[in-house]
Structure 1
Amino acid sequence: MLGGAPDIDVVAEAADGAQAQTLAARHLPDIVLMDIRMAGMDGLTATEILRGAQRPPEVLMLTTFHADALVLRALRAGAAGYLLKDTPPQDIVAAVRRVVAGEPVLSPSVTRQLIARATDGRNERDARAAHARQRLALLAEREREVAVAVGRGRSNGEIAGELHMALPTVKTHVSRILAKLELNNRVQIAIVVHEAGLGE
């Protein structure tokens, strides 16, 4: 499926999370397609390790499991996308391109689950919201504005236009947000913003 795409090179295939870690260190791929359930090291643990590397690849989860707890764990581990294996092949190839370009990708059914989860468990949601607001309070005002824009799905170019900033300035703010909040990618920024109730 991926071999037929002229702009995508498959540099390695791993049987489990531990092998994925070894091969990623050797080949330094731009993106890793990761399953959740594997023998030995599972995909969630492997994702955390890969995203903590000095030159981390993006990780796109491709799995049959769509329990909302697994989705959230994968996103919090640093995955930039979560697709189910019944996703049409051309959509998987498109998702690889989008993730490498810095766009988060979720299967429609996964998106529905996350929305449903957001509407359940008021006490738990309130506690998460309070914690998320405390984390955003660590940011300078301009950084917070950029974080909210990321949470609304805006690209760096769109943020630059909306907030009247130069593109390099937006990139600098995004880097500072990731560092201050100890996050790996834009998806995790968006999660914090949405948990704080600021992403609508």
Structure 2
Amino acid sequence: MTDTAIDFRRAKYMLSAPDISFLPPDTGVEVAFAGRSNAGKSSALNTMTDQRGLAKTSKTPGRTQMINLFELAEDRRLVDLPGYGFAQVPLEMKKKWQHALAEYLEKRNCLKGLVVLMDCRHPLKDLDVNMIRWGVAAELPVLVLLTKADKLKQAVKQKTLRDVKASLEAMELDGDIKVQLFSSLKGTGRTEAIKTVTAWLEQPV
């Protein structure tokens, strides 16, 4: 790790790339955030970095059309990947997003952790499960954030958390998978998520 400690509040926008050929050199450590277009991915990044406008949010799901990089420290980056799943955009554009997403996940060697975000009211859709399976197959640690936890009552969200953990265990995925509740509105789970991602970022390269 470099001499500069990881401080999420120091995150700064680096660049947006349509595909991996426009990314900086494949060095250091990156942690990627992936999720369906309406999972609250940009809001989660803003909450974790304590910067309201770092990642652009929109009332229209699917506005994250590029691979967006944010620098935390020297050679330590967070990556906001194109949203997958529902988005009211032309099919050709959707295919282009999906290609950029797949290419990054398959070829970016400095990727050392994957955060998969899903709305806690609609967890474990097929694309979410596929993303988790990919992370495990790539031997990456995976953090599942069940977002918008403020939308559910305490008993319901705790049951959802238990059910998601049980479902993933039943799949017998042989990997490092953590699951937690998260709310950008209330800040629920922010400290826990930062602790997990920081541990990935601080590993030697």
Common fold, TM-score beyond 0.5? no
More helix by share: 1
Higher RCO (CA < 8 A, seq sep 6+): 2
Task: Give the shorter-chain TM-score range.
Answer: 0.3 to 0.5
